[in-house]
């Protein structure tokens, strides 16, 4: 598929998606959100790909939803079309996604990063949910995923004041997995994605599903789900290969079966 608002680079085990509206600080319009969803669906369907990286420019991962596109939206139109509902598809991607964030990750940009599984931030990254300054609130997960990531106190602070949070604060709050110098950002994210991509896809996909369950169901239900998923992986050739390789002191060659 040909994309106009993103660049897509298929590597050995990794799909790299670069948001490409840098003159608008990668403001997320409907076309771009659709293209990101389509590229991630392509990754899910491609057995050679084990993980994706989503990144932006040095100045901005994404400075939010495209305000110029949203400005004239009415409630009836928004309600009837269920505006933004389809963007949840990004969070439903089954293979792991790393957000590599430099510069602004604001509003929908911060929410897009939180739909990914791991956020690796450059030391220049700034996160925030400034929707309140526009007379609206976050609409694709900012009031929910941010609470899971940083807790109620900081989420309320960010959502109600619209202030930005630097990378260091985002890491200590639990939103970000690692902070690296901006020049190392893409290599670090690609290395991590490559490492994930070389594992058994069945195992990485089950691991993602199981961790996400922790946010959706009570502990006993989550533990039951984890145990069943754990047991089921003993049906894969990759489990046999992984354990044989350890015993034979060699690196495993997963066949994705």
Q: Determine the size of the site formed for ligand CO8 (CB under 6 A).
A: 23
Under the criterion CB under 6 A, does residue 66 sit at the interface with ligand CO8? Answer: yes
List CB contacts of 52: < 8 A, sequence separation 6 or more.
14, 15, 16, 17, 39, 40, 43, 93, 95, 96, 97, 98, 193
Closer Cβ to ligand CO8, 51 or 62, answer by number: 62
Per the annotation, the verdict on 248 as an active-site residue is: no
Closer Cβ to ligand CO8, 139 or 242, answer by number: 139
Of residues 206, 212, 196, the one with CA closest to residue 120: 196
By the 10 Å C-beta count (0-12 exposed, 13-18 middle, 19+ buried), 4 is classed as exposed
Which tokens hold the place of 109? Answer: 């940009």
Per the annotation, the verdict on 45 as an active-site residue is: no
**DSSP letter, residue 81:** T
Under the criterion CB under 6 A, does residue 89 sit at the interface with ligand CO8? Answer: no
Residues in the chain: 257
Under the criterion CB under 6 A, does residue 35 sit at the interface with ligand CO8? Answer: no
Least distance in Å: CB of 50 to ligand CO8?
A: 27
Instruction: Please select the residue that binds ligand CO8; options are 108, 114, 201, 238, rule is CB under 6 A.
Output: 108
Which tokens hold the place of 100? Answer: 């590599």
- Give the x/- contact pattern for ligand CO8 in 122-141, rule: CB under 6 A: --------xx--x---xxx-
Instruction: Please select the residue that binds ligand CO8; options are 8, 14, 16, 33, rule is CB under 6 A.
Output: 33
> Pick the catalytic residue: 27, 99, 107, 111?
111
Under the criterion CB under 6 A, does residue 25 sit at the interface with ligand CO8? Answer: yes
Of residues 14, 256, 16, 252, the one with CA closest to residue 6: 16
Instruction: Please select the residue that binds ligand CO8; options are 3, 24, 124, 226, rule is CB under 6 A.
Output: 24
Least distance in Å: CB of 58 to ligand CO8?
A: 12
Strands (E), 86-173: 97-101, 104-106, 118-122, 126-128, 164-166
Other beta carbons less than 10 A from residue 31's beta carbon = 15
Closer Cβ to ligand CO8, 72 or 248, answer by number: 72
Residues that are catalytic: 65, 108, 111, 131
């Amino acid at each position: 598929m040909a994309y106009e608002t993103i660049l897509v680079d298929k590597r050995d085990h990794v799909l790299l998606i670069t948001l490409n509206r840098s003159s608008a600080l990668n403001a997320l319009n409907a076309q771009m959100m659709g293209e990101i969803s389509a590229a991630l669906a392509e990754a899910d369907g491609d057995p050679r790909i084990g993980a994706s990286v989503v990144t932006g420019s040095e100045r901005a991962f994404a400075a939010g939803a495209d305000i110029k596109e949203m400005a004239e939206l009415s409630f009836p139109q928004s309600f009837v079309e269920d505006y933004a509902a389809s963007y949840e598809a990004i969070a439903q991607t089954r293979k792991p996604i790393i957000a590599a964030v430099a510069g602004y990750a604001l509003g929908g940009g911060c929410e897009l990063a939180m739909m990914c599984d791991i956020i690796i931030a450059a030391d220049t990254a700034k996160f925030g949910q400034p929707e309140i300054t526009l007379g609206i609130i976050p609409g694709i997960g900012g009031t929910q995923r941010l609470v899971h990531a940083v807790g109620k106190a900081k989420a309320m602070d960010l959502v109600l004041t619209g202030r930005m949070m630097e990378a260091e604060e985002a890491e200590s709050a639990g939103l970000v997995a690692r902070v690296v110098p901006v020049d190392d950002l893409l290599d670090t994210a690609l290395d991590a994605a490559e490492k994930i991509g070389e594992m058994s896809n069945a195992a990485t996909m089950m691991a993602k599903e199981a961790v996400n369950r922790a946010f959706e169901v009570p502990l006993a239900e989550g533990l039951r789900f984890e145990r069943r998923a754990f047991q089921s992986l003993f049906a894969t050739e990759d489990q046999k290969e992984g354990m044989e390789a350890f015993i034979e002191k060699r690196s495993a060659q997963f066949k994705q079966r």
